């Protein structure tokens, strides 16, 4: 099964593994993967990948993303989100007053996050050290933050506020943690803050819209060669058979492209290949057979 891509909407309160499992049961697929999870409290776009196309997940794991985040002043938690143990809490009136008095400074701080080039991930994250998640280390009592890593925040703006909460939109590179922004916001103003809500609206060119699959609806799988628009190299039936037997027939590879689809007479991908120098190529994965 060549499979393909399914942009899906994950509702808040549902785990990422559950939305993957629901798609798998709906289409009776042996293999369904994803290009990045969302925390249980978060909602929005997840990009699911079906069948042999799961080998293409890496092309989107580090894709740029867009989020809308709700920062709630007056409470900080160990995980910087609604699900963690409370570290510090202030009264509602005090929190509303703080946001009202400091709104311009909060807006300025958020906008100044543009062009951030390094970020320390949160303590509770899925990043691993010695094969074990940092979140598991933390639960075992080892409170060591992951090392800082390169990220880019392309845009950041405060879009609204209500009471003790402010909403901000971000466009970021892959690997950016919005929970870390909540942590840093609280540290900057010396006032407890946590990320109360998060909505992902884009992954690369995929957008959260009415075309996204929702559990219980009919599934539309986008073929991989329509998503990754690499050049297509047509192979004869004999060349296709050679590819399926692990051979590398002589094919005319395109110049100026790192990857290419090798397609059969029906126009469907037989394999995808890495284009090398001097017209050579390396088959990265067989897609059918």
Q: Contact 198/12 with Cβ under 8 angstroms?
A: no
**Same domain, residue pair 42 and 73:** no
Q: Which of 30, 39, 136, 237 is catalytic?
A: 39
**Same domain, residue pair 69 and 147:** yes
Give mean pLDDT, residues 175-200.
97
Q: At 219, which CATH number?
A: 3.30.2350.10
**Same domain, residue pair 57 and 102:** no
Query: pTM for the full model?
Result: 0.89
The answer to whether residue 134 scores a pLDDT higher than 60 is no
Full residue range of the structural domain in which residue 256 is found: 230-286
Three-state SS string over 36-62 comes to CCCCCCCEEEEEEEEHHHHHHCHHHHC
Domain count along the chain: 3
**Chain segment 82-104, per-residue pLDDT in tens:** 999 999 999 999 999 999 999 99
pLDDT for residue 140: 61
- Give the C-alpha distances (Å, rounded to integers) separating 234 from 227, 260, 264: 18, 10, 6
**Same domain, residue pair 196 and 161:** yes
**Chain segment 141-164, per-residue pLDDT in tens:** 656 667 788 999 999 999 999 999
What is the residue whose two structure tokens read 């543009």?
114
**Chain segment 51-80, per-residue pLDDT in tens:** 999 999 999 988 999 999 999 999 999 999
**Same domain, residue pair 150 and 175:** yes
Last residue of a domain, one of 191, 225, 259: 225
**Same domain, residue pair 90 and 15:** no
Confidence label for 195 from pLDDT (cuts 50, 70 and 90): very high
- Confirm whether 39 is a catalytic residue: yes
**Same domain, residue pair 147 and 257:** no
**Same domain, residue pair 186 and 81:** yes
**Same domain, residue pair 88 and 199:** yes
Instruction: Look over the chain and give the mean of its residue pLDDT values, rounded to a whole number.
Output: 92
**Chain segment 249-270, per-residue pLDDT in tens:** 999 999 899 999 999 999 999 9
Kind of pairing, strands 43-50 and 193-203? parallel
pLDDT for residue 230: 96
Q: Contact 55/13 with Cβ under 8 angstroms?
A: no
């Amino acid at each position: 099964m060549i499979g393909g891509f399914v942009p899906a909407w994950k509702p808040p309160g549902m785990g990422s593994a559950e939305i993957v499992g629901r798609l798998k049961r709906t289409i009776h697929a042996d293999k369904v993967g994803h290009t990045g999870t969302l925390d249980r409290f978060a909602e929005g776009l997840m990009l699911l990948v079906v069948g042999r196309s799961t080998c293409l997940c890496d092309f989107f794991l580090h894709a740029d993303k867009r989020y809308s985040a709700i920062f709630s002043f007056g409470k900080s938690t160990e995980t910087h989100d609604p699900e963690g143990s409370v570290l510090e809490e202030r009264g509602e009136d005090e929190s509303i007053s703080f946001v009202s008095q400091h709104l311009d400074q909060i807006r300025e701080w958020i906008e100044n996050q543009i062009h951030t080039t390094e970020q320390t991930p949160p303590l509770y994250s899925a990043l691993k050290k010695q094969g074990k998640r940092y979140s598991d280390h933390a639960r075992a009592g080892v409170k060591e933050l992951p090392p800082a890593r390169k990220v880019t925040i392309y845009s950041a703006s405060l879009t609204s506020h209500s009471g003790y909460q402010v909403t901000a939109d971000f466009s970021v590179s892959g690997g950016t943690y919005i929970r870390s922004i909540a942590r840093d916001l609280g540290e900057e103003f010396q006032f407890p803050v946590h990320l109360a809500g998060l909505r992902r609206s884009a992954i690369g060119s995929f957008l959260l819209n009415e075309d996204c699959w929702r559990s219980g609806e009919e599934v539309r799988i986008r073929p991989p060669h329509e998503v990754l628009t690499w050049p297509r190299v047509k192979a004869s039936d004999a060349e296709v058979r050679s590819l399926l037997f692990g051979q590398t027939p002589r094919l005319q590879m395109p110049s100026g492209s790192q990857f290419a689809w090798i397609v059969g007479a029906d126009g469907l991908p037989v394999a995808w290949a890495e284009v090398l120098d001097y017209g050579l190529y390396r088959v990265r994965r067989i897609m059918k057979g």
